[in-house]
Structure formats: structure tokens, C-alpha cells
Amino acid sequence: MDTVGFIGLGRMGQPMAANLAREGFTVRSFDLNGTGNCRSLAEAARSAEVLITMLPDGAAVREAALEALPSLPPGAIVIDMSSSDPAGTRALGTALEARGVLMVDAPVSGAVAKAKDGTLSIMVGGTAAALDRVRPVLAAMGKEIFHVGPLGAGHAVKALNNYIGAAGTLAGFEALLIGRAFGLDPKLMLEAINASTGRNSATDRKIPQQVLTGAFASGFKMGLMTKDVGIAAELARGLGLEMPFLKETLKMWREAQKKLSAAADHTEIYKYQQALAKPRSSAARRKPAPSRGAGAPRSSSRRKRRRST
């Protein structure tokens, strides 16, 4: 497979397409923003043995794939490397297969830095035979390739991975806010946590690289994180599963997006959490309630009743 069509040259897509070209593939690229070496999506798809989509959501992927379909040769494979809804992916796969085109979903993890150096983690859904055919293409963009199940499984794993990342980000940022309020040195606190069981991507990378530096430039937008958590929530809902923590996580991200913007870097949710964490005024603070085991003073009415018996 020497000719690859590439649709979507955003912050992730552009370096991924560049890595394919660097590895010797003929890349025919197009983006609605005017970048790419082709003037239209149909031109990028023409004669492409593989068509890669790296777009904002599943609706955009479906539109692009169906528009490209008349230009694709029989036996071509569409690889959706976006974060899309698993159910929509399976429906699109059925539509493409009816026209002699296969589909693989292969979303990625690793953000812009790993997209640039070609070390993305890739979660693949599809048949083993289809993966074998496109593995050299994926290997040009990623270091680790995981076959996680049939078509749609890659997008399901990606959504669940980002839900865990989103929840861990909230917890890590709250821990930072509490530690700072208590007077802890954030760097010393992180050293201890990152050598312990609380370590996650927020404590290991996001806090030291984005929050403490004030950069807030991870390259992954808040709108995309919120979308992915929403996909995980919809997946659970469709399966009839009640997931209260997932619901609360999604609610938090949606509320933060309203206060900031979908275009904000996702690490900027720290600013939203910081605003929520402002201490109450001294007049509003309450003394902690006594524990259940603590003895409560007897009321005067109770003492009077006892004297009357």
C-alpha cells in the first residue's frame, strides 16, 4: 500500500501525514482549511489504497468517507483515526463494505508531541486481516499498535481511555488546589505522589508542564475532551449501564466548557476548578458537626420531663 489519502490536517493530522511521507508513502492530503497537496477531497481519495480521516467527530468522518467513496478503488480501506462514536463507526463500516471498501477504526493517544515524533499509541478496531494490510501505514505514525476488537472497538477504548484521563485530571488538579491551600510545595508534593499510587497523567505531565508553568498548551482542546467523555457516557447509556461518576465527570467538563470555551486547552479546566475552590468567607464557615459517637448535651425540656416522672 503505497498511496495514502489523508483528510484532516489539524494539529494532529499534519504531523501524522508528514510522518507517512517521511516513511516513503505517497500522501495525497486535503483539509477544508486549504492546506494539503490536493484541491479537493475527491482528488485526495483518487487511487488511494488507504484513506485516513483525522477529523473533529464522527459526523465529519461519515460525510468525508461517503464523499470520497466514488473515488476510492475497490478493496481500499478507510482508517478513521479520529475520536468517533463506536455505533456510528459500525454503521459507516456497513455502508462502506456494501460498496467494496473496508473500514478500520484506529484512534490515537499521545497528543501533538507524539504525533510529531511518530510514537503515538494506536487502538485498532476491525478484522485481523484488515489490520495486517494497514499495519505498515499505522507503524509510520505510532509506536504501539493494539488490536482491541472488531470495528468500533478502537473508538470505544479511546473514549474510555479519555474518560479515565478526564476524571484523573479533575482529581489531580483538585489535589493541587488543596495542597497549595494547605501550604505544601507543589513540586515536593508531586515528587511524592509520582512515586506512589496516585500517579497519573495529570500529576506526571499536566501539572508540572502546563499548570505550574502557566503554559496551558497541551495541544488538546477542552471541546475534544468533553466530546470524548460524552461518547463514553453515551456508550454506557446505550448498554443500559448506570454510571454516576461518569455522569458527574461529564457534567463538570460541560460546565467548564461553558465558562471557558471549547477552543480552550483542556488543562485550563484548572482555572475553572480554582474559581470553584475559593474559600468561603469566615462568616459563612461552619464548625464541623460532632461525630455520631460524640455525646450531645441534653435539652432543658428533656431534663424537665425527667423531673416530672
Catalytic residue ranges? 158
Nearest to 51 by CA among 23, 11, 21, 81: 81
How many helices (H) and strands (E) would you count in the chain? 13, 8
Grid coordinates given for 260: 471557558
Which amino acid appears at position 212 of this protein? L
- Tallying the residues shown for the chain, one arrives at 309
**CA 118 – CA 3 distance, rounded (Å):** 19
Grid coordinates given for 98: 456494501
Grid coordinates given for 139: 507503524
Nearest to 266 by CA among 126, 183, 172, 146: 172
Grid coordinates given for 301: 425540656
Distances in Å between the Cα of 134 and the Cα atoms of 43, 65, 71, 131, 145 are 21, 17, 19, 5, 11
A 10 A CB-CB count for 48 gives 26
